[in-house]
Amino acid sequence: MWHGKIRPVPFHYQSGEEILAGDRIRYAGAAGIVEFVTDPVSPDHTWYVEQYGGGCMLQVAPFGSLFLNAPQEDEDLEFVGRSESSH
């Protein structure tokens, strides 16, 4: 179990943009999307917040689903653009 503090929301890419669900990204050079960003008050995200302090779930074809608990520190994560469904 993760015993740290809940990380502050919002999360940001290293380039400074806020990470939003639906964003188009590249992870380790492969195209993908942000499936969700944890919300500490969402019952759907409770486990991720309790275990890791929050973060974001990515869908990247070569890797499948990836959960990053410190996305702002991950050099492999790059912002490409917003989709119309980003929220």
pLDDT tens-digit readout, 31-57? 999 999 998 788 888 888 888 888 999
pTM of the full predicted structure?
Answer: 0.83
pLDDT at residue number 77: 97
* Domain boundaries along the sequence of the chain: 24-81
Contacts of 14 (CB under 8 A, 6+ apart): 72, 73, 74, 75, 77
To which residue do tokens 């890797």 refer? 63
The fraction of the chain above a pLDDT of 90, given in percent, is: 60
pLDDT at residue number 86: 56
The three-point CA angle 35-49-26 to 5° equals 30
Decide the pairing of beta strands 56-60 and 24-27. unpaired
pLDDT at residue number 76: 96
Q: What value does the mean pLDDT take over residues 51-73? A: 92
